[in-house]
Chain A
């Protein structure tokens, strides 16, 4: 950069009070390289030679013809590849119908672009831009209109009208908002209760077969729902979303149980909520060797033998444990519902209702 132009830069950027200049911090160099103007148009083969021009015409015609053939083939394919219970027919229908339509579309598209590129004039043209800002007299006229409207309506003058109008405008949308309140009921204490009751038998998901403690060998895992929950009931999914449980048997020696939860398990059989305490995915993966439960959604990992506390991932709370016992026939039953809300945290989960 030349010394001379550097001076221009300096002088407008150092001392002195702020001066207003539209270009802000932009420095204009007096000796900038001159704009040579639009580069002359390069002549194409199709401009120069009749032969190339004819070839281009033929190519465009060919592409448009190909398009017609493609669309016709798509019509044929619609009937020629019907659907049946055999999934191959689904693939064929999709494939051949799709390829036909594709040809129909690409023929037109590529043809048109080719036409434009080879046969339509390709010299660039310049046109002036006009400032976006309206001209001064237009702006003056607009202000005039606003002032007149203000005068005629007395909008500025009649304060009380104006203020009550604001008030009315502020209130009128409220009914429009409140009518949405019936979208859903008061959440109430539903989040705090599940389908587990004292004595509910643990059954297998999804068929509802009751589970005997003796069926669980060490290391085995059962996906569990409460007895009586069945797909025909109206709220099946809502109940299942809260009540799903994972049942695992481990060596009782390695279970670290806090004193108050001592009798929540049975001979190494523990039942934990399957609903992740992060944002609620089912914690469905059990690693036998490490005794870890893993949530596939964001990889929160819970240590089954240590009260299912979080050892990895974004979850913050242990999975809630379901206290269980075994009845006279050897079936596993819940001692009670979960003693805390299951699933994702919500702000008042620890507030006693």
Chain B
């Protein structure tokens, strides 16, 4: 007891509270363990933080909405303040969404905060995923965390879709109609699943309530669980750092958690929240009152789903006509199945990529220093191809808008998109790989000959040269610090046989590494320095002569 008293007197409030808490829950040990943990700093590491914070904002704003939203599809006649819909039949869900917008102070603000943060959440998670991909942060020991992150991204889309469908307005109902049509297209079980999901025929009276359970309970709970796993693994693995002098696979360089990182990250939460709030105050999103309640008959042209669903919608649009066929008396709706299969395969490839790359490199060591994208040209090119594929599907969801805005025929736009879907990723692959190799060679140039200084000097014999300034040792190290992989040959196994697996690995390794540019070595730099020294002497002479 006397300890408590002296602690209070000596150091005032902060120490007093710390003492009070520690004597009851004994957290000093935790703080000792984690309080000065090192976190590397880089702008691209904030993408994941943005995703995390927008999720927190979703939890806060979503909880507010639950207090007013009524997930019921019972028909009512609207009698609220919004004049154009007075007297209209609509579901209670839609009516309560209108009431949140027009009759609860701050209600529209919270709806807009919720919707904008949903868009930001998925966007930030997606960009974060790209950062992890292009820097090779998914390599051992982080392959499983890549998969967890992937699941989070998919759950984010699921959260978004289930939420989008809740207000039961014309657009959200139409989105569900599309889902229903797709489900029905699945052979043998489609009609059953549709009936189970909608509680009978579409649209029925159950779907909003069911999506509500998913949206406010199951999906957020899953997201929380996976987030927890994601972050625990992050602490376990410690964060990666970018290649630079002093950064190794065996250490971690950055700022201590307390106070710098806590202040920056904590402050950043408020900034993300503030920016979402700012956008929500000024920009309308999903003005459901303009659309009216769901009715299967009318629909307006040019409507768009939320951005993260766009690629799936695009996949549906890009399917060529007349893909459906009969197998006996069974209708096989390939026009729906093909886009479905393509989307699922695409997702599967994303989820499994780390394991594939690891199989190719055969590298079993832990990697904590990030790659600069140029130093893994084929990986970067594969990423660019994937992004392009996704982008074409996404643009595919706007074929009608593109056609009307650019005065092209829909047919031309569609055909262009279909061709692009196959050609552009290949083009992106080739171009990106070339750019990476060119950048690597440029790095090599700089490592060997220094940077172009822009100073032109005329030598005594009339030749003009540009003076190069040698990179300082820190900059130089960044240019040469990467791992050099070389293709392998298909080698015989213990029985002296060359297996198909070995051949495939040899082919894959050649695909990845056959034109790789090895890092510049000390030997090469020294050999060059000698030559550079001679030139330098000539330059000095020339300068003296000019004086």
Interface residues of A (CB under 8 A from B): 1-2, 4-6, 9, 13-18, 22-29, 31-39, 78, 81-85, 87, 90, 93-95, 97-99, 101-106, 108-113, 115-117, 120-122, 124-129, 131-132, 180-181, 183-187, 190-191, 205-206, 223, 225, 231-232, 235-238, 240-242, 244, 274-276, 278-282, 284-285, 296-301, 310, 312-317, 343-351
Contacts and interface: CB of A to CB of B under 8 A. Distances in A.
Contacts, number: 412
B204 A238 contact: yes
A102 B202 contact: no
A33 B481 contact: yes
A25 B488 contact: yes
Interface size class of B (residues with CB under 8 A): 35 or more
A82 B105 contact: yes
B297 A244 contact: yes
29 contacts: A2-B521, A18-B493, A24-B485, A27-B485, A33-B480, A33-B481, A33-B520, A101-B277, A104-B274, A105-B273, A113-B267, A125-B255, A127-B38, A187-B194, A205-B297, A232-B75, A241-B202, A242-B201, A244-B296, A278-B316, A284-B297, A299-B317, A299-B400, A300-B321, A312-B414, A314-B317, A344-B182, A346-B184, A351-B329
A1 B524 CA distance: 6
B212 to A, nearest CB: 15
A26 B267 contact: no
A108 to B, nearest CB: 4
Nearest to A78: B105
Contacts of B420: none
B419 interface: no
Nearest to A112: B267
A31 B199 contact: no
Given A345-B331, A347-B331, A105 B202 contact: no
Nearest to A240: B296
B109 interface: yes
B370 interface: no
Given A24-B362, A284-B297, A116 B259 contact: yes
A154 to B, nearest CB: 32
Nearest to A235: B201
B299 A98 contact: no
B248 to A, nearest CB: 7
A346 to B, nearest CB: 4
A184 B519 contact: no
A13 B522 CA distance: 22
Given A26-B363, A29-B484, A110-B271, A282 B331 contact: no
Contacts of B192: 186-187
Interface in B501-547: 509, 513, 518-525, 527
A153 B86 CA distance: 71
Contacts of A190: 200-201
Contact of A17 (B38, B414, B492): B492
Contacts of B267: 108-113, 115-116
A2 B184 contact: no
Contact of B102 (A4, A83, A126, A282): A83
Contact of B486 (A25, A39, A191, A316): A25
Interface in B223-247: 236-238, 244-246
A115 to B, nearest CB: 6
Contact of A122 (B184, B260, B273): B260
Interface stretch (B117-125, B126-134, B376-384, B471-479): B471-479
Contacts of B249: 129
B256 A238 contact: no
Residue among A99, A105, A244, A274 having the largest count of chain B Cβ atoms under 10 Å: A105
A126 B38 contact: yes
Given A34-B522, A38-B253, A312-B411, A116 B260 contact: yes
Contacts of B75: 231-232, 236
Contact of B188 (A102, A129, A347): A347
A297 B316 CA distance: 10
B324 interface: yes
A275 B180 CA distance: 13
B273 A109 contact: yes
Interface stretch (B18-26, B332-340, B424-432): B332-340
A346 B140 CA distance: 45
B386 interface: no
B141 interface: yes
Given A27-B485, A125-B38, A299-B399, A282 B297 contact: yes
A275 B202 CA distance: 13
Nearest to A25: B485
B488 A105 contact: no
Interface in B347-376: 360-366, 368
B177 A280 contact: yes
B96 interface: no
B197 A183 contact: yes
Given A125-B254, A125-B256, A316-B321, 19 more contacts: A23-B365, A33-B481, A35-B477, A129-B366, A231-B89, A241-B202, A241-B296, A280-B178, A280-B202, A297-B178, A299-B399, A299-B414, A315-B321, A316-B324, A346-B191, A347-B185, A347-B186, A347-B187, A347-B333
A168 to B, nearest CB: 26
Contacts of B109: 93-94, 97-98, 101
A311 to B, nearest CB: 8
Contacts of A111: 267
Name the residue in A28, A31, A205 with the highest tally of chain B Cβ atoms < 10 Å from its Cβ: A31
A18 B483 CA distance: 21
Contacts of B218: none
B290 to A, nearest CB: 12
Contacts of A124: 253-255
Query: Which 10 A/B pairs are nearest by Cβ-Cβ distance?
Result: A98-B281, A279-B181, A24-B362, A112-B267, A109-B270, A38-B246, A316-B324, A105-B274, A109-B271, A344-B181
Contacts of B178: 279-281, 297
Contacts of B297: 205-206, 223, 225, 240, 244, 274, 282, 284
B324 to A, nearest CB: 3
B28 to A, nearest CB: 20
A275 B264 CA distance: 54
A117 B261 CA distance: 10
B266 to A, nearest CB: 6
Contact of B280 (A9, A98, A110, A297): A98
A315 B168 CA distance: 26
Nearest to B528: A2
Contacts of A24: 361-364, 485
A113 B268 contact: yes
Contacts of A299: 317, 399-400, 410, 414
A125 to B, nearest CB: 6
Interface string B205-228: 010001000000000000000000
B410 A346 contact: no
B237 A184 contact: no
B253 A9 contact: no
Q: Which of B282, B295, B519 has the most CB of A within 10 A?
A: B295
A284 B254 contact: no
B112 interface: yes
Given A186-B195, A205-B297, A299-B399, A113 B177 contact: no
Given A310-B321, A313-B321, A37 B237 contact: no
A222 B518 CA distance: 71
